[in-house]
């Protein structure tokens, strides 16, 4: 218990002093997580909408596959992407391994099924009469889609937040594809794992606190924007 309390006290001091190493790690984490969430959202939200609003052979199988991919371990994605971007891999010549881009690729693969599945759930909950109302008022298919996405915005927002939370807290992909290089690919979670291995808990606890504060801040922001109506809609 003493170790934890001592670490906690030192962690607070480290945070208050805005330790440069700590700030570097936080910045890398935020950068890769934000970019991967943005890319996954740009792909996953339209895909989720199309799947929810289309009828095609094999739709149930696709939904089952998507739900299965939600349980995909990060180390499996790490291995898969590694096999493609390692020196002997198909894209080895691009020299992506142990770069931030490699982490982003892995994280995008990790959360695309999550964004897509949660978007499908959010859009499917919207009354089908919204679609017909938009169409009878003269909307094109794209304008109708925008109406549905607007009505499902709280659910879709929650999907994006959940995905960001998933990538900022993951360690397997960042470690395997990023390599935990100091000041370059060291993220909060990989740094925490390293500090734990070294038996140095202070930085690990400080990073843990920062991670939780960021998650809390993002959720507060989300709830502030969605307001009462959003809470009722979820």
Q: Which positions lie near another protein, rule CB under 8 A?
A: 127, 129-130, 132-141, 143, 147, 150-151, 229
d(CA 197, CA 76): 22
Cβ-based nearer residue to another protein, 59 or 182: 59
> Which residue is it, tokens 């089952």?
64
Q: In this structure, what are the phi and psi dihedrals at residue 125, rounded to the nearest 5 degrees?
A: -80, -15
CA-wise closest residue to 149 among 222, 45, 41: 45
Nearest distance from C-beta of residue 146 to another protein, angstroms: 10
Cβ-based nearer residue to another protein, 128 or 198: 128
Nearest distance from C-beta of residue 58 to another protein, angstroms: 20
Cβ-based nearer residue to another protein, 144 or 167: 144
Nearest distance from C-beta of residue 136 to another protein, angstroms: 5
The answer to whether 121 touches 162, Cβ cutoff 8 Å, is no
Nearest distance from C-beta of residue 148 to another protein, angstroms: 10
What's the Rg (C-alpha) of the chain? 20
Burial of 62 (0-12, 13-18, 19+ CB in 10 A): middle
Cβ-based nearer residue to another protein, 127 or 200: 127
């Amino acid at each position: 218990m003493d170790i934890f309390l001592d670490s906690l006290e030192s962690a607070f001091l480290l945070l208050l002093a805005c330790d440069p190493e700590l700030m570097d790690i936080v910045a890398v984490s935020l950068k890769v997580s934000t970019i991967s969430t943005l890319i996954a959202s740009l792909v996953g939200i339209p895909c989720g909408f199309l799947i929810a609003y289309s009828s095609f052979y094999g739709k149930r199988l696709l939904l089952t596959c998507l739900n299965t991919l939600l349980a995909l371990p990060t180390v499996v994605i790490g291995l898969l992407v590694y096999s493609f971007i390692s020196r002997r891999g198909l894209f080895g010549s691009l020299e992506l391994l142990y770069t931030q881009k490699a982490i982003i690729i892995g994280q995008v693969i990790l959360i695309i099924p999550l964004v897509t599945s949660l978007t499908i759930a959010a859009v499917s909950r919207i009354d089908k009469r919204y679609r017909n109302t938009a169409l009878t008022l003269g909307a094109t298919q794209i304008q109708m889609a925008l109406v549905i996405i607007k009505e499902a915005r709280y659910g879709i927002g929650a999907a994006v937040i959940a995905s960001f939370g998933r990538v900022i807290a993951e360690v397997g992909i960042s470690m395997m594809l990023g390599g935990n290089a100091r000041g370059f690919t060291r993220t909060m979670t990989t740094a925490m794992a390293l500090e734990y291995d070294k038996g140095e808990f202070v930085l690990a606890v400080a990073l843990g606190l920062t991670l939780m504060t960021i998650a809390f801040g993002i959720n507060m922001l989300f709830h502030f924007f969605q307001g009462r109506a959003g809470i009722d809609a979820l």
